[in-house]
Amino acid sequence: MSEVTRRRKEVGLKNFRQRWSEQPKENFATADVPGKRCATPPGDDDGRQGALKRFSAMWPSFRKGRKDKIKEPDLAETRENLVMDNVPIQPRRVSGQYFFEYLVVVSLKKKKDGSNYEPQITYQFPKRDVMAKYQKEEEEKTLKAITLFCFPEGISWAPLTEYHSETFSFVLTEIDGSRRNGYCRRLLPGGRGARPPEAFCIISSLACFGLFSKIFDEVEKRRQISMALIYPFMQKLREASFPAPGQTVEIKSFIPESGTEIIHLTRPLDSWLEHVNFCTLFDCLTDEEVLQVFAAAVLERRIIFFADELGTLSQVLHAVAALLYPFTWQHTFISIVPEILIDVVMAPTPYLLGVQKCLLDLVTDQSDLLLVDLSKNKEKTFLVTTGDEDSILPPKLQAEILEALSQRKKVSDVEEAKKVEEVNRVVSEAFLHFFVRTVGHYSSYVKYTKEGPGVFEKRRFYKAIESKTTRHFVKKFIQTQMFDLFVQELEQQQPSGRQQGIFHRKITEYQKKKNEKTKKH
């Protein structure tokens, strides 16, 4: 890194610290969405003060960080918790017991001075009346953070007569590392004349975007008739058990003039793909462009995606993270960055960020990162690159991935649900095979002792790779935190308990085919 770049990042980090202890700068707006103006009126500082205060109030607790297996510098750890979490620890149900924790409706209401609209929670189910004081305070902070993510633009809204409904998601990560998913459907409420949009938001510890999108379809249907119809439906849903992978749960719900309806909610068979729709990723990028994004992500670089639509951002970021399976992204991940948190782009540590295109001008630090434009009418996809993205992956393996990805074009004529499922299968297997080919021999290089955990022999591991280009890639990849965590978990397991899961199954299939091919020759 050059001295100029380093100095620029130090200045950026200094500004980042300052911004969290003082009033944020003026908000910016989207110019291409009807009803939105391009700047917040002067004198609107008071309206944003509450949003900043709730983050500032949490600063001491975030400073403590969390005791992860993998340590980062204190500032990076603090920043990561702050921008990703925005919510404190809350008592919650065990994952899988309920579909969701609660549903809220976030409406845009006029401020007291009548100058602008601000998001406010106007409906919450279930209401939690019996809570200790500290629990109420924690829930208040959570709900305020939700309003920020439901309307992240930080712009001036105006009443609308038309608004295209959109569905997106975000992640609330807490100090202890646990995560909750926020699913949001923004739409124009029923009524006559111009009116501001509102957002329905479901908070759940379960990650399954497609399933919750169907739930929103049912909520929206009832909302158009009466808000009173939402309660019995959500109560039925809350009482139902979350289905196992591949299973279906039936919800009975009454709608006036239609009678009792039976809603079928099916969970995808591959649970690790149930929050993913690769179709959106490949609608925005070519196969070759996806490979370059994957290459940057696998080496844990800083990547920012830009799009006009919130749904596009959330789906693409979750898809990119899923390409890394069986490894897990260990750094900052914000599928939709609210305008008030835009300074997170200055952080020097790795991240995957989704930013609305109207905020592009606020990304002033454009060194050592990859900026990806997902817009339909873009002039070019990569606005900024490091320059080596197309040469990170071994050429032969790149060709194999592209060949495997071409198979998804054969499913273009099937129904939408089946198409998503088949595309997900083709894409996930293509990238899973890449990891089988590059690091699938890992288990042979973990040495166990009777006294304690195993030890991964890193040098022998990459030296065993015959291909020079593959060995060069793996030598870089094993320095990442995602690989380091994978190895740490591997070392803690007993040899008999670690040979499980789809990754191991694919490794076994590959080695079997390789041995059969060797015997023939």
Tell me if 70 is assigned to some domain.
no
Phi first, then psi: give them for residue 192, nearest 5 degrees.
-115, 155
Q: Is 145 a residue whose pLDDT tops 90?
A: no
Supply 312's token pair: 């596009």
Residues 240, 136 share a domain: yes
Average pLDDT over residues 389-410: 92
Instruction: Quickly state the pLDDT bin for 168 (edges 50, 70, 90).
Output: very high
Instruction: Quickly state the pLDDT bin for 415 (edges 50, 70, 90).
Output: low
Q: How many domains does the chain have?
A: 3
Tell me if 56 is assigned to some domain.
no
Percentage, residues of the chain above pLDDT 90: 36
CA 439 from chain centre, in angstroms, equals 25
The span from the CA of 174 to the CA of 476, in Å, is 30
Q: Is 458 a residue whose pLDDT tops 70?
A: yes
Asked which of 409, 432, 458 is the last residue of a domain, the reply is 409
Tell me if 53 is assigned to some domain.
no
Query: Angle formed by the axes of helices 74-85 and 45-63, to 10°?
Result: 130
- The CATH number of whichever domain residue 304 belongs to comes to 3.40.50.11500
Residues 420, 405 share a domain: no
Element (H, E) at 372: strand 370-373
Residues 203, 129 share a domain: yes
Q: Is 73 a residue whose pLDDT tops 90?
A: no
- The CATH number of whichever domain residue 214 belongs to comes to 3.30.450.200
- Per-residue pLDDT reduced to its tens digit, 502-511: 888 888 888 8
- Per-residue pLDDT reduced to its tens digit, 321-363: 999 999 999 999 999 999 888 999 999 999 999 999 988 998 8
Phi first, then psi: give them for residue 120, nearest 5 degrees.
-140, 145
- Per-residue pLDDT reduced to its tens digit, 230-275: 889 998 998 888 888 778 889 998 888 888 889 988 887 766 677 7
pLDDT of residue 130: 63
Query: Peptide bond preceding 326: is omega within 30 degrees of 0, i.e. cis?
Result: yes
Tell me if 144 is assigned to some domain.
yes
Residues 246, 328 share a domain: no
Of 93-97, 127-131, 175-179, which gets the smallest average pLDDT?
Answer: 93-97
Average pLDDT over residues 92-114: 74
Q: Using an 8 Å Cβ cutoff, are 277 and 425 in contact?
A: no
Q: Is 45 a residue whose pLDDT tops 90?
A: no
Residues 207, 134 share a domain: yes
Average pLDDT over residues 134-159: 82
Residues 514, 435 share a domain: yes
In DSSP terms, which residues pair with 184 in a beta bridge?
Answer: 168, 201
Residues 304, 212 share a domain: no
Tell me if 272 is assigned to some domain.
no
The span from the CA of 363 to the CA of 344, in Å, is 10
Asked which of 384, 409, 434 is the last residue of a domain, the reply is 409
Average pLDDT over residues 386-393: 94
User: How high does pLDDT run on average in the chain?
Assistant: 77
Q: Whole domain around residue 435: which residue ranges? A: 415-520
DSSP code, position 70: S
Residues 225, 196 share a domain: yes
pLDDT of residue 144: 85
pLDDT of residue 413: 61
Residues 252, 109 share a domain: yes
Tell me if 360 is assigned to some domain.
yes
Tell me if 151 is assigned to some domain.
yes
Tell me if 19 is assigned to some domain.
no
pLDDT of residue 11: 42
- Per-residue pLDDT reduced to its tens digit, 294-305: 999 999 999 999
